[in-house]
Amino acid sequence: MPLHVVSHPLIAHKMTILRDKSTSMKKFRELVDEITLLLAYEATRELPTTEVPVETPLVQTVGRSLVHTDVILTPILRAGLGMLHGMMQIIPNARVAYIGMQRNEKTKLPETYYFNVQDHLEHSHIIVVDPMLATAGSMSGAVTLVKQKKPGSIRAICLIACPEGEARMDRDHPDVPVYVAARDERLNENAYIMPGLGDAGDRMFGTP
């Protein structure tokens, strides 16, 4: 699985504030938004473009455009929702397909409760977003669901990955590139990423 750690001073700075336990919910949301936007810039580098004519005030010329490039943003509920606005700022015409998935706190396994998107996505580019790649049970399950729709391409964007999650994605979906802002040390006994940022959904929404 190609893992792209997007190394940039702005991302590193914002991630440090995001991790800080004293960062407010409002600030946390703003930072997730900003970091996602920066990751999206890198993750969309390979999207196809076509030549289009454009008339400047001076001359007729040819530019490149994403015209007819169907991008479907796929946030994993809940915490992935917090990344949606940042993605849409950079790809405003993207469609959205939600995946409802919750990690069972006892088993640590994800349980799917919602996924609704049409079949035959051969011409679509899917970007799955979820802040935490912990065991990667959620991301791997989400990608498996998406693959059933046969999309043109799939990529994933997370804020933090860890070796356990990377190994799982490598095993299950070696063909799916994953873009992350940071690569942490390990999982703890509760399958939380260390040092991590805690529970992304709780910090983003203020509810357990």
- Cβ neighbour number for residue 176 with a 10 Å cutoff: 21
Which helix (H) or strand (E) element contains residue 76? Answer: strand 70-77
Partner that binds at residue 138, options ligand PRP, ligand URA, none, CB closer than 5 to 8 Å by kind: ligand PRP
Would you count residue 137 as binding ligand URA (CB under 6 A)? no
3-class SS at 90? helix
- Any residues with CB less than 8 A from the CB of 186 and at least 6 apart, and which? 162, 163, 164, 193, 194
Nearer to ligand URA, 42 or 199 (CB): 199
Pick the binder of ligand URA from 134, 142, 158, 178 (CB under 6 A): 134
The rounded distance, in Å, linking the Cα atoms of 48 and 53 is: 17
Q: Are 103 and 80 in contact (CB under 8 A)?
A: no
**Selected range binding ligand PRP among 12-20, 61-69, 102-110, 118-126, rule: CB under 6 A:** 102-110
Would you count residue 196 as binding ligand URA (CB under 6 A)? yes
Least Å distance, CB 110 to ligand URA, is 10
Pick the binder of ligand PRP from 76, 146, 154, 169 (CB under 6 A): 76
Going by the DSSP 8-state scheme, the letter that residue 197 receives in this structure is: -
Partner that binds at residue 196, options ligand URA, ligand PRP, none, CB closer than 5 to 8 Å by kind: ligand URA
Binding track over 11-40 against ligand PRP, x by CB under 6 A: ------------------------------
The rounded distance, in Å, linking the Cα atoms of 182 and 120 is: 34
Least Å distance, CB 111 to ligand PRP, is 9
Q: Which amino acid is at 44?
A: T
